[in-house]
Structure 1
Amino acid sequence: MKLISVVLSGGAGTRLWPASRQAYPKPFMKLGGSALLEQAISRGQACGTDDLLIVTNQDHLFLTQGLLSDMADPPRARYLLEPKGRNTAPAIALAALACQATHGDDAVMLVLPADHLIPDTESFVANALEAIRQAQEGHLVVFGIHPTGPETGFGYIEVAKVGRDIQPVLQFVEKPDIATAQDYLATGRYYWNSGMFCFTAGTIIGSLEQHAPAVLKAARLAMASANTQSLPIPDEANPPSVTRFDAHTFGLQPDISIDYAVMERASNVILVPARFGWSDVGAWPAVALAHTADASGNTLGTADGTDWVAVNTTGTHVHIDSHCHKVVATVGVQDLVVVDTPDALLIVSKQEAQNVKRVVDALKERHISSAQHQTTVLPPAVHRPWGTYATLKEEDGYKVKRITVKPGQSLSLQFHHQRAEHWVVVRGRGIIQIGDAEHVTQPGEYRYIPLQAKHRLTNVGHDELVLIEVQCGDYLGEDDIVRLQDRYGRS
């Protein structure tokens, strides 16, 4: 049996703004010591998966690759890079076609969203092995979560009776209002829909052909025009493969969930009841529950570099992303969420946390470029294949950045039309190329890069290189980069 872990790493996580952004979305948030995406990958490994297939946005490739490279035992991954989000039915259809082409109809796909929190890996593996056996018998398997309350943010799945047994699904129902959710719980016949599935490539492709032929046809067209090549990673003998899609053809796929497209219509759907704790970390109160509370029910999301003084404060969650040490004080408040990032501050009651996504909508409508969710807001550290950069300060005419470069890595050979740069190495050892000259640069040493001068930074030491960059010019946008050479294949 060939077992493939299919990780769906999409979604903006708008209810977790401002920590979750399009440039740094929810799967990369750290809970329990590691990113949610890393946890999903590790769960697949624990089940004995032979291969890893990640479906993600094309802008998150190097961020994902960086996460994998930092894992103690990273699996070899294949990537399907979406030029835009197209919901779970197209994502699963593309993944199934890729698995079928490589491993045949009998390949078992364990489909895992990248943004779930499941602390009990051992119980998850036991459930997953049950699901795999059912998938090999030709079933479409969904993991059901035993409801803990009348939650309106989840879809529900009806069975004959909630219990420990695997059983056929009677129907899928959409997110209910509170009264309907209470009725569901009272019947004892409903599970929450986890969004985790298991089936063979042949079974799901056959089900798509029967119940959603338009989805399968569009996926086949997208795959036919796609380009697959090895990821250019220096010193990597067996680099992972990357499939990129034509934006127009990809966009012709219907925007529809796998539940609507197949699961609600198929007759061979089996539910495996989860015997593990689960959260989709859909809003800030769920994030708070993932942390250990103090005697007053307060939780701190970022302990490093933050001192929190809580006076007469109860049931409050504080999350800080800062470039420097920060003191936070709360006095006489209860049941709040306070999220502070370098460019945005959120204060919301836990009861209203589901409405945070309305803030994102409002920012987009107002075109507030300094805090808009879509493209312009940067997280504390922007990840690149060579390391990270963080904007420390920006005003008219200048910008200050902190840049880190991994050992053995280098920035592209590039120049800028509209800015000059001043570089000071503060840690590590690098070679800075300016024009055709190369300069070995140690901590405390300074280099000036004139306007339109080609330049490159390479870490030639054994430790991370840290550099402070001051940009000066009339325009300081990230798009003023002309790459002449790039070992990572970027244009």
Structure 2
Amino acid sequence: MRLLSVVLAGGSGSKLWPLSRQAFPPPFVTLGRSTLLQQAIERGRACGASDLMIVTGKEHQFLAEDVLLQLPERPSSTLLLESASRGTGPAIALAALQCGRQFGSETVMLILPADQLVPDAEGFAASAVEALELAAAGRLVLWGVNPTGPDTRYRYIEVERRSSESQPARRLVEALEAQAAQSFLASDRYYWDSGMLCGTAESIVSAFERHAPGLLATARQVIESSQPRGDKVLLDAEAFERLPPMDIGRAVTTLADNLQVIPARFSWSDVGSWPSVAHPQSPDAGGNTLPPGSIALDASDTQVRVASHGPKTVALLGVHDLVIVDTPDALLVAHKDSVQRVDEIVDALAARKHEAVHLPAVVHRPWGTYASLKEEDGYKVKRITVKPGQSLSLQYHHQRAEHWVVVRGTAMVQVGDAQYKTLPGEYRYIPLKERHRLTNIGNDELVLIEVQCGAYLGEDDIVRLADTYGRA
């Protein structure tokens, strides 16, 4: 039996704002020792998956590649790159078609959303043994989670009665109102649908043919018009735009009659909000989940997450039931009763065209990262890192000059037609409208402090003349 692990690594970035953003969705957020994407990859490998497919956005390609580079052993992998988000329905249909073309229709697909926490990888792998056998026999397998509250965010799986054994699913149903969710919670016939799915490529494609033939037909056009480039498949943007947005529940699993449910005998969180992220942590005596070294006096059930450039002392005094998330460019303070509405904050910021909706405090690029350290009228200070052997685009700016100081590593700085090897402590000046380029010619990470001076300092004041990554 060939097993392909399919990891869905998309999302809008609003669930864990301000830590996650549109350009940095939850799968790439580090929770614990690694990113959620890496944890999902490792879950698949623990189940015996010999191959890996990551479905992610085109703009997130280099983030996914960075995660793969950090793995102790890089698996045989394919990146399926979407030009926009269309939901889990199209993503899984495309993955199943690509799997059939690349590995064969009898390949078993273990589909894992990368915005979930499953700390007990061994427990999940043990349950996957049964799932793989059921999938090979033609079943579509779901993992059901015992509900712990009347949550309207989840789809519910109805069974004859919850038990410790797998069983056929009667139906999948939404709990659109709190009253329905409360009745499902009180019953012993409902699980939460975890969003994880297992089945052969053939079974999944057949389910789409029966229940979402239009979506599948368009997905076939997308795959047929897309050409693999090495380990990447850049999905044809024109055909992709015709795919209807749809989640896998509405597309297939709510209607399929060959569903089997395995009870989740392991801890699970969908990372749907900040409180769900706190669950794997050990709270203090007052129920607070805090960074190491924090001080809490007369404080209870409060969650604090700090993502800053340096150490920060956290002190709580007389606060209760709060979620506090501090990043270098944004601060969220919310009552736990309201934290599910964080997307309303994101929508309000989007209406103002605020940069904090799209870009994180540390912006990841194919060549490295940059972070804004200070900005006032007329100047901005950035910290730039460049990976060994990588370079920024050859570019110029209409409205700003730049001053560069290397603080670590070895740079080759192009200014006009001249090339300057630049070592730590050395400085280069980039005049207004002058062509320039930064390259790391050393074996270690290059770190540079950039000071921009000008009347306008927006990221759109870049004219690219040549670029290694095809952005010119």
TM-score (norm 1): 0.92
- Distance verdict in 2 for CA 1:370–1:199, change over 3 Å: closer
Q: 1:244 — aligned with what?
A: 235
**Paired AA for residue 181 in structure 1:** A
Q: Does 1:282 align with 2:272?
A: yes
Q: 1:57 — aligned with what?
A: 57
Q: 1:319 — aligned with what?
A: 305
Q: CA deviation at 1:125?
A: 0.7
Q: 1:464 — aligned with what?
A: 445
**Which of 347, 354, 361 is 1:369 aligned to?**
354
Q: 1:348 — aligned with what?
A: 334
**Which of 397, 406, 416 is 1:425 aligned to?**
406
Q: 2:178 — aligned with what?
A: 178
- State whether residues 58 and 234 of structure 2, in contact with CA within 8 Å, keep that contact through their aligned partners in structure 1: no
**Paired AA for residue 183 in structure 1:** S
Q: 2:244 — aligned with what?
A: 254
Q: CA deviation at 1:76?
A: 3.4
Q: Does 1:153 align with 2:144?
A: no
**Paired AA for residue 79 in structure 1:** L
Q: CA deviation at 1:471?
A: 1.5
Worse-superposed segment, 284-293 or 136-145: 284-293
- State whether residues 7 and 114 of structure 1, in contact with CA within 8 Å, keep that contact through their aligned partners in structure 2: yes
Q: 1:263 — aligned with what?
A: 253
Distance, in Å, in 1 between the alignment partners of 2:73 and 2:142 is: 28
Q: 2:21 — aligned with what?
A: 21
Q: Does 1:449 align with 2:430?
A: yes
**Paired AA for residue 444 in structure 1:** G
Distance, in Å, in 2 between the alignment partners of 1:95 and 1:370 is: 32
Q: Deviations over 1:434-482 (max 9, x none)?
A: 2232222111110112223322222233322110011123332223333
Q: Does 1:336 align with 2:322?
A: yes
Mapping of residues 119-268 of structure 1, within 5 Å? 119-230=119-230, 240-246=231-237, 248-268=238-258
**Which of 350, 368, 389 is 1:387 aligned to?**
368
Q: CA deviation at 1:490?
A: 3.3
Q: CA deviation at 1:368?
A: 4.8
Q: 1:408 — aligned with what?
A: 389
- Distance verdict in 2 for CA 1:252–1:368, change over 3 Å: closer
Distance, in Å, in 1 between the alignment partners of 2:453 and 2:223 is: 44
Is the partner of 1:285 in helix, strand or coil? Answer: helix
Q: CA deviation at 1:5?
A: 0.9
Q: Deviations over 1:422-443 (max 9, x none)?
A: 1001112222222232222111
TM-score (norm 2): 0.95
Q: 1:235 — aligned with what?
A: none
Q: 2:458 — aligned with what?
A: 477
Q: Deviations over 1:318-349 (max 9, x none)?
A: 11222333333321111111112222221111
**Paired AA for residue 464 in structure 2:** R
Q: Deviations over 1:259-299 (max 9, x none)?
A: 11111211111111111110001111112222221222211
Question: Aligned-pair RMSD on alpha carbons?
Answer: 1.8
Distance, in Å, in 1 between the alignment partners of 2:7 and 2:281 is: 25
Distance, in Å, in 2 between the alignment partners of 1:104 and 1:159 is: 32
Q: Does 1:399 align with 2:372?
A: no
Q: Does 1:69 align with 2:59?
A: no
- State whether residues 53 and 80 of structure 1, in contact with CA within 8 Å, keep that contact through their aligned partners in structure 2: yes
- Distance verdict in 2 for CA 1:490–1:228, change over 3 Å: farther
- State whether residues 269 and 277 of structure 2, in contact with CA within 8 Å, keep that contact through their aligned partners in structure 1: no
Q: Structure 1 unaligned runs (5+)?
A: 231-239
**Paired AA for residue 282 in structure 1:** G
Worse-superposed segment, 166-175 or 395-404: 395-404
- Distance verdict in 2 for CA 1:379–1:370, change over 3 Å: closer
Q: CA deviation at 1:176?
A: 4.4
Q: CA deviation at 1:13?
A: 4.1
Is the partner of 1:20 in helix, strand or coil? Answer: coil
- Distance verdict in 2 for CA 1:4–1:370, change over 3 Å: closer
Is the partner of 1:79 in helix, strand or coil? Answer: strand
Q: 1:237 — aligned with what?
A: none
Q: CA deviation at 1:227?
A: 3.8
**Paired AA for residue 235 in structure 2:** R
Is the partner of 1:333 in helix, strand or coil? Answer: coil
Q: Deviations over 1:366-404 (max 9, x none)?
A: x25254x2x3xx322111122111011223332211011
Distance, in Å, in 2 between the alignment partners of 1:324 and 1:159 is: 50
Q: 1:102 — aligned with what?
A: 102
Distance, in Å, in 2 between the alignment partners of 1:438 and 1:353 is: 52
- State whether residues 81 and 244 of structure 1, in contact with CA within 8 Å, keep that contact through their aligned partners in structure 2: yes
Q: Structure 2 unaligned runs (5+)?
A: none
Worse-superposed segment, 113-122 or 248-257: 248-257
- State whether residues 145 and 194 of structure 1, in contact with CA within 8 Å, keep that contact through their aligned partners in structure 2: yes
Q: CA deviation at 1:16?
A: 2.0
Q: 1:234 — aligned with what?
A: none
- State whether residues 15 and 353 of structure 1, in contact with CA within 8 Å, keep that contact through their aligned partners in structure 2: no
- Distance verdict in 2 for CA 1:296–1:346, change over 3 Å: same
Q: 1:310 — aligned with what?
A: 296
- Distance verdict in 2 for CA 1:417–1:77, change over 3 Å: farther
Distance, in Å, in 1 between the alignment partners of 2:96 and 2:463 is: 38
- Distance verdict in 2 for CA 1:364–1:381, change over 3 Å: closer
Worse-superposed segment, 285-294 or 321-330: 321-330
Q: 1:36 — aligned with what?
A: 36
- State whether residues 323 and 380 of structure 1, in contact with CA within 8 Å, keep that contact through their aligned partners in structure 2: no
Is the partner of 2:319 in helix, strand or coil? Answer: coil
Is the partner of 2:23 in helix, strand or coil? Answer: coil
